Structure 1
């Protein structure tokens, strides 16, 4: 875990991007890209609610913020092996109602990449849980570093957040980087026919705060 990036990031571009929410309606949003991110990745932020009119300067009050790690299988393909897609939909709707930012971080497979994640799926089918599979492939249980999230929030003039997450590691890394987490706001538990073991592993090994 990083203590915080030394490099200052800036907003590169902000464009209008109306997005659909789970009830089928559309909400206004602005998509923001960044220069100077410490890992060189193409991470983006989605400004929603009262932040749409303030794409580079913090609006009044503490924003609701979600750090969402990219998940092609869940977010795009609708996989039920994880809860990523439903969490993304929930986050967009709740942040649009409250005002804040969704940071979409290119950290597939808890930071191990898409192909390695598919390899981890194969190991899970052989009996390992999601964390054990990452370790068996030679990685840490969770490879994610949220230094870029700290940079993005600083570029948006945000130093305090209400964090929409069940993962205390996200809060700890933001705090270590100088972003104060005033409240950890839990997401709902999105249980499917296929992800019960995955959610149980997040609870017991990942120390996520879930009410199963």
Structure 2
């Protein structure tokens, strides 16, 4: 967890970032995780206050690194990210955000402006007693390598990614 400024009270800028070794450390263009992490840190710094909760154990939407690599192989063979996880006998998304909510409670964050495109993160914080006053999108420009992945997130997992419409119309 990284905390910048006084985050106690209302409307702290918050990023719940799921661990992604391939994107965060190695700059994989299969996902947008590394770019989102960098953008979130810049937004928090510009805001002058905020929290980044880095969620270990969330690799591959909670399936772990080895299973994620197996799923990526299946994706290279034509399955989308949801289908690949299910083909491996794993859930499409196994992440739990209770620990993140607990961290925010400990920091006395009463409401968050959540840096996320994922409606499930918002729902989880609300379920665990953290008000979300705003969901602030982190819209990264898509790359040829991650466009199918992003479209799956938008179309099958309800992520807010409206900027993809223009990209799809051009292709």
TM-score by length of 2: 0.91
The answer as to 2:95 corresponding to 1:139 is no
For 1:149 and 1:190, the matched residues in 2 are separated by 27
Partner SS, residue 68 of structure 1 = strand
Q: Which runs of 5+ in 1 are unaligned?
A: 1-44, 52-57
- Check conservation: 1:63, 1:162, Cα contact below 8 A: yes
Q: Aligned partners of 2:9 and 2:108: how far apart in 1?
A: 11
How far is the alpha carbon of 1:189 from its aligned partner? 2.6
Runs of 4+ in 1 over 4 A off after TM superposition: none
**Unmatched tracts of structure 2, length 5 or more:** 165-171
CA contact (8 A) 1:189 1:210 kept: no
Aligned to 2:75: 124
| Separation in 1, partners of 2:119, 2:113 | 13
Alignment-derived partner of residue 184 in structure 1: 135
1:42-191 equivalence runs, <5 A:
45-48=1-4, 50-51=5-6, 58-59=7-8, 61-98=10-47, 99-106=49-56, 107-191=58-142
- Greater C-alpha Rg: 1
Deviation at 1:60, TM superposition (A): 5.3
Q: Is the 8 A contact 1:64 1:100 kept in 2?
A: yes
Residues 76-116 of structure 1: CA deviation (Å, up to 9, x unaligned): 00100000000000000001111110000011000000000
Q: Distance in 2 between matches of 1:144 and 1:100?
A: 22
Provide the alpha-carbon RMSD of the alignment.
Answer: 1.1
- Higher strand proportion (structure 1 or 2): 1
The total of aligned residue pairs comes to 161
Structure with greater helix share of residues: 2
Q: 1:157 to 1:60 in 2, by over 3 A?
A: closer
Name the CA distance, whole Å, in 2 between partners of 1:85 and 1:192: 13
